[in-house]
Structure 1
């Protein structure tokens, strides 16, 4: 990886962190208080409980670790990291931009931004699948970091779209709103299953999606707005994503064990 790429990644990280401070209310209003509270944990049927957003702390720490790592000799030599091009920097810029956009009150523009972020992360993960990680550290800082990032942003996109629609006055009535939320959750579960297959059972993606869907379930069943149907479907969606990942992981482990056994037999 060349020095220019490292500098751009570092600058993008700093820009994102400024946006994060803004979003946490240190340089402006907290995100959940902007746009009339449209992005709060109780604003819509697809808003995760407040605790769910703590996953951002993990993602940010991993992104910092990733940027530090690319400046090390091993990170600089990583062919997988080099293959990502400008995508990591783009993801961090879009992340910081989302926080600035929501502060400015542009809810629908924030939907465009987070959708672009999800697309960038999807492309990034696709590139990571071309080569296997060189070691545990590389797997953690690339697959783990951007897998968690993609999984959470996928769930957050669903919540963001719903928040923008509700804030714009969309209201289908209790039954209609419930049906719409269920449809979105089914789509999210289908995406989780697809990601597990396309990204060879990437654990980070599944973990973040299970986390997000689980906290949506908690919000509808224990916090509010209460909706038993949406809460149960969200919980089932989380289980479907988890089951899909575990199934593919178990198949991969079984195949690896079979290959090792065949190798041992051949050697004897």
Structure 2
């Protein structure tokens, strides 16, 4: 019993420490300590006008919602009532890992090459996928509103955004790596990638019993990708149109499916 209690307290401390690291990494990443702002780092590779797959700068405001959710989770999981809960034991360490990798990516932007940022972001995406599987599969009697908001919805938003961010990061890395002649195929490749993101978004929603949060995050990023390709210096009508269609699909499909499930009286979990 004493060992279990000690492990639970250690997990709670680890989550708090991971959140603090993430915030420090964020401050480093945005240049708060004298570094280079993200859009100007690694030669401006992350600027919306540098890659056909990078959304407009406004898209990144979604981090405010994700960080707020992670802050809420960090405080909530530290409460004594949460210490020995099954879901906290199953998910706490994994959520902490996602926050560490989140902060590490922001540090990597400042101090490593662009392909290093791809590696870290892929690791974050894998960790979020594993975490979300555990979120879906680890159910517990008495789980209610705060579980749905601070675990299910926050992890879903984080996963959805990381999915799109990985595509954008890879696109930026390829843009500064491949020959300039490849730009002639940008429209076709961009449409294919956006279509693949839409398929992934719908598949993720279907697997998770039509949870909405991942699709909202993906749709948010796709909508701003469309804005960037219609109004920025690097314009592409085909990619913009594909992004608009994909946005409608990834957002509307889970919503419609959940409504239909409710009409049919489906007993599947209905968390966010």
Provide the TM-score with structure 1 as the length reference: 0.91
Q: How many residues align?
A: 259
Matched residue, 1:187: 196
1:48 is matched with which residue: 55, 70, 84? 55
Give the distance between the partners of 1:136 and 1:129, measured in 2 at CA. Answer: 15
Q: Is the 2:15–2:92 contact (alpha carbons within 8 Å) kept by the matching residues of 1?
A: no
1:168 is matched with which residue: 177, 182, 197? 177
Question: Which one is further off, 218-227 or 189-198?
Answer: 218-227
After superposition, the C-alpha distances for 1:128-167 in whole angstroms (9 at most, x for unaligned) are 1124471111100001111100000100000000000111
Matched residue, 1:10: 16
Matched residue, 1:265: none
Give the distance between the partners of 1:116 and 1:187, measured in 2 at CA. Answer: 20
Runs (4+) of structure 1 moved beyond 6 Å? none
Matched residue, 2:26: 20
Q: Does 1:101 align with 2:108?
A: yes
Give the distance between the partners of 1:181 and 1:258, measured in 2 at CA. Answer: 39
Matched residue, 2:224: 215
**Deviation for aligned residue 1:252:** 2.4
Give the distance between the partners of 1:152 and 1:218, measured in 2 at CA. Answer: 17
Q: Is the 2:8–2:84 contact (alpha carbons within 8 Å) kept by the matching residues of 1?
A: no
**Deviation for aligned residue 1:3:** 0.4
Q: Is the 2:161–2:218 contact (alpha carbons within 8 Å) kept by the matching residues of 1?
A: yes
Matched residue, 1:69: 76
Query: For 1:110-149, what aligned pairs fall within 5 Å after superposition?
Result: 110-132=117-139, 134-149=143-158
Matched residue, 2:211: 202
After superposition, the C-alpha distances for 1:21-74 in whole angstroms (9 at most, x for unaligned) are 011210211111111100112111111101000001111111111010001134
Q: Does 1:256 align with 2:261?
A: no
Q: Is the 1:196–1:248 contact (alpha carbons within 8 Å) kept by the matching residues of 2?
A: no
Q: Is the 2:227–2:240 contact (alpha carbons within 8 Å) kept by the matching residues of 1?
A: yes
Provide the TM-score with structure 2 as the length reference: 0.90
Give the distance between the partners of 1:189 and 1:86, measured in 2 at CA. Answer: 30
**Deviation for aligned residue 1:124:** 0.6
5+ long unaligned stretches in structure 1: 260-268
Q: Is the 2:29–2:36 contact (alpha carbons within 8 Å) kept by the matching residues of 1?
A: yes
**Deviation for aligned residue 1:85:** 4.8
Q: CA RMSD in A?
A: 1.8
